[in-house]
Amino acid sequence: MTEPPVISIRGLVSRFGSHLIHDGIDLDVNRGEILGLVGASGSGKSVLLRCAIGLMPTTAGHIEILGHVTGQMGDNEAKTLRHHWGVLFQDGALFSSLTVGENIEIALKQLPELPAALVTDIIHAKIALVGLPADAVHKYPSQLSGGMRKRAGLARALALDPDILFLDEPTAGLDPIGASAFDELILQLRESLGLTVFMVTHDIDSLARICDRIAVLVDKKLIVDTLPHLLEIPHPWVHDYFHGPRSHAAHIGE
C-alpha cells in the first residue's frame, strides 16, 4: 500500500469532565476498507465517531482524514471535506420538519446547481438504493418506522456519494433480510465507488461478512486486527465477545 490511510488517528484522548473515555487511541483505515468498531455499550464508540468527524473536541491527539487534519481546518476546507464523508447517526437524526426526499435534497443543495429533473431522479434512486418504498419520499420522518428512518438516514448519508461512510449501528433495528441486503449494498458501493466504511456495529453477521478488519474498544484503547487474529486474543472481554453463543450462531469462532 503506497497510498496513505484515509483515516489516521494518533494518540486520541477524550474525556467528559473527569470521565476519561479514550486514553491514547491509534487507528488507520485504508481506502476501500470496511472497518468494524465494536465494544461494550457505553465504552465510547459513538464518541470516537463524533471525535473523528470533528463534532467533539478532543483532549489530545491527532486526527487526519483524507489528508486534512480535523480540528485545525478553515471553514472552507472543513466544508469541502464534509462533502467527502457521509454520516449515519445512531438514531437517524433526520430533519423532522422535512420529508425524506427533502432531507436528501438538502445535502445535494450544497453543490453547484443540478437540473431539477436529475435531482429528483437522484433522490428516488437513493431511496430505492437503501430499499425504501418509493412513496417514502413524501413522508415525514415521524411517519416512518424505526428501521425505515435508519434507511432514510443512510440515503441522506449517501446523497453526495461520499468517499467515507461513518455508520453508527446501521443494521440495528433492521430485519435480518434487510440487514443482509444492507451488507450487500455496502459491499456493492465499496466495489463501485471505492467507498471506505467506518462502522460501529454489534451485528456479528456484518462483522464476519463484510468487515475487513475489526477494531475492539476495550479498556479505553483499541485492538485492531482481522477477525481470525482477534479470535486468538486472550483478553477476557474480547474472548467472550467473539466466543459467545451469538458468535457461534453466526459460525464464528468454532
Partner 1 sequence: MTTEARLDFLPSRDGTIRLSLSGRIEVEHLATIAAPLEDFPLPASGGSLVMDMTAADTLDTAGAIMILRMERRCAAAGIAFSLSGLHNSAAQFLAHIRSIGEEKTPPPPIPHPVLELLERTGRATFHLLAEIRDILGFFGMLSITLIQSLRHPSRLRGGAILTHMEQVGLNALPIVGLLSFLIGVVLAYQGADQLQKFGAELLVVNILGVSILREIGILITAIIVAGRSGSAFTAQIGTMKVNQEIDAMLAMGLSPIEYLVQPRIFALVLTLPLLAFYADITALIGGATMCYMSLDITYDQFLLQFQNFIKLRTLLVGLVKAPFFAFAIAMIGCYQGLKVSGSAESVGRLTTKSVVQSIFLVIALDALFSIIFAKLHL
Ligand X SMILES: Nc1ncnc2c1ncn2[C@@H]1O[C@H](COP(=O)(O)OP(=O)(O)OP(=O)(O)O)[C@@H](O)[C@H]1O
Neighbours of 141 (CB within 10 A): 19
Which cell goes with 23?
486514553
* Identity of the amino acid at 3: E
Nearer to ligand X, 37 or 208 (CB): 37
Closest CB 90 distance from Mg ion, rounded Å: 5
CA distance 183 to 160: 20
Of residues 191 and 232, the one with the C-beta less far from partner 1: 191
Question: Which part of the chain contacts ligand X (CB under 6 A), choosing from 44-52, 72-80, 105-113, 224-232?
Answer: 44-52
Q: Which residue among 15, 83, 202, 209 contacts partner 1 (CB under 8 A)?
A: 83
In this structure, the strands spanning 19-29 and 196-200 are unpaired
| Residue 47 binds to ligand X (criterion: CB under 6 A) | yes
Q: Contact between 93 and ligand X (CB under 6 A)?
A: no
Residue 43 is a binding residue for ligand X (CB under 6 A): yes
Alpha carbon 123 to its chain centroid, in Å, reads 21
Q: Name the minimum Å distance from CB 93 to partner 1.
A: 11
- 114 contacts which partner out of Mg ion, ligand X, partner 1, none, CB within 5 to 8 A by kind? partner 1
Q: Please identify, using beta-carbon distances, which residue of 193 and 218 lies nearer to ligand X.
A: 218
Near ligand X by CB under 6 A: residue from 29, 34, 35, 39: 39
Alpha helices in the chain (DSSP H): 45-52, 75-83, 100-108, 116-129, 146-157, 176-193, 204-210, 227-230, 236-243, 245-249
Rounded distance between C-alpha atoms, residue 92 and residue 60, angstroms: 29
**Angle, CA of 229, 197 and 36, to the nearest 5°:** 35
Looking at residue 130, what DSSP letter applies?
Answer: T
CB 165 within 8 Å of CB 185: no
Helix, strand or coil, per DSSP, at residue 98: coil
Nearest distance in Å: CB 39, ligand X: 5
The DSSP secondary structure of 34-94, one letter per residue, reads EEEEEE-TTSSHHHHHHHHTTSS--SEEEEEETTEETTS--HHHHHHHHHTEEEE-TT---
Binding-site string for partner 1 from residue 84 to residue 123, where x marks contact by CB under 8 A and - marks none: ------------xx----------x--xxxxx-xx-xxx-
64 binds partner 1 (CB under 8 A): no
Residue of 25, 33, 34, 44 interacting with ligand X (CB under 6 A): 44
- In the region spanning residues 130 to 159, those forming contacts with ligand X, defined by CB under 6 A, are none
Judged by the rule CB under 8 A, the positions of this chain that interact with partner 1 are 83, 96-97, 108, 111-115, 117-118, 120-122, 124-126, 128-129, 134-135, 137-138, 140-143, 158, 160-161, 188, 191-194
Judged by the rule CB under 6 A, the positions of this chain that interact with ligand X are 16, 21, 39, 41-47, 90
